[in-house]
Amino acid sequence: MNTRFIRAAIGAGTSALFVTTCIACHSASSSRASASGHEVAGARPTRADGSAPSKPDAARTEIVPALHWRGAARSLEIEGRSGRIRATPIDGDAIEITARLRGASRPGHDGSLVLRVTPRGDGVIACVAPSDEGDEAPCPPPDQAWRNDRHAAVDIDVGVPGTIPLKVRHIAGDVDIERLRGDVDASTVSGHIHVETGGLARARAVNGSITARIGAPRWTGRLTFATVNGSIDVVVPRDAAADVSAHTVSGAISAEGVTFASASMSRDHFRGRLGSGSGGELELDTVNGAITLRPSS
């Protein structure tokens, strides 16, 4: 066991936005996807009735057989089960979601999928669902969705405008979030997480490493980056102010180039104060893996 110093990253920002893939989510019985729904359609805005939505309908869930949705919302949540989730910034004020089936359906299912987009407050929650499931409810709980999953994998690409907050809940697959400006909250059970944002970020995994770059130097509350099997590498602004806590059972803790106003170190735990410490808390925690905290260049 080797312990040295630590590393983490944080930023200030906006509210959180969810991005996740729901392979076994429910699908309204009144809307059936065609067998050609395996491949995501082009960038054409799509609703169940074929029109282009400017905002999510507050009264009902949209069923989008084409696996492509474009619309306005103030926050986004995506629930994923298996595959890759990737989010990147786009111009304009509309969110874009595109999903592609990768691999074959499991026996006993025709493979048709729909993209379910459901209003939640002033935002939307989206998941990919088998077209033959008739429950009108939005995405089911993650454990139920995982049991019912009958597809190899669904890759989801999300275009996020402005500082819209994003939240990603995933089960099996990597989460890659690049150059966003709003707050990000991401998790996966089995897969790596990469986050770059000018806002705040939080990330959790079970089997997978976490890398994060945060742009906001101050925040309130706690920003947590935690995994069980994997390393954690976080970059924070040079003028960040926070109380830092880092813990690993098997791995090194390093914070090269980071200046702490005060610090203490035990066998497997590091505590330090970045800057004035008048900001929030930054928690870095893994069981098997190294922890690195670095200042932005």
Residue that terminates a domain, selected from 149, 167, 185? 167
Residue that terminates a domain, selected from 145, 167, 189? 167
Q: What is the rounded CA–CA span in Å between residue 21 and residue 19?
A: 7
32, 98: one domain: yes
207, 272: one domain: yes
Residue that terminates a domain, selected from 106, 132, 167? 167
- pLDDT, position 278: 74
- pLDDT, position 101: 82
160, 129: one domain: yes
29, 104: one domain: yes
Q: Which residues contact 143 (CB under 8 A, 6 or more apart)?
A: none
147, 196: one domain: no
87, 161: one domain: yes
Q: What is the pLDDT along the chain (297 residues), one digit of tens a residue?
A: 433 332 222 222 322 222 223 333 333 333 333 333 322 333 333 443 444 444 555 445 665 555 899 999 999 999 998 899 999 999 999 999 999 887 655 544 445 778 889 999 999 999 987 776 554 556 755 555 544 455 568 899 999 999 999 999 999 999 999 999 999 999 999 999 999 999 999 999 999 999 999 999 999 999 999 999 999 999 999 999 999 999 999 999 999 899 999 999 988 899 999 987 677 999 999 999 999 999 998
- pLDDT, position 106: 52
pTM (2 d.p.):
0.77
Q: What is the pLDDT of residues 100-115, one digit of tens each?
A: 887 655 544 445 778 8
Q: What is the pLDDT of residues 9-61, one digit of tens each?
A: 222 232 222 222 333 333 333 333 333 332 233 333 344 344 444 455 544 56
**Alpha-carbon dihedral sign for residues 179, 116, 42, 37:** positive
Q: Given the structure tokens 């029109």, which residue do they identify?
A: 51
159, 212: one domain: no
Mean of the per-residue pLDDT values of the chain: 77
36, 111: one domain: yes
- pLDDT, position 133: 58
Q: Which residues contact 155 (CB under 8 A, 6 or more apart)?
A: 83, 84, 85, 86, 99, 100, 102
The partner residues of 22 in beta bridges, in order of sequence, read: none
183, 137: one domain: no
**Residues 164 and 197: beta-carbon distance below 8 Å:** no
49, 160: one domain: yes
Domain that holds residue 110: 21-167
- pLDDT, position 25: 34
**Residues 271 and 235: beta-carbon distance below 8 Å:** no
139, 176: one domain: no
As for how many domains the chain has, the answer is: 2
116, 161: one domain: yes
- pLDDT, position 113: 77
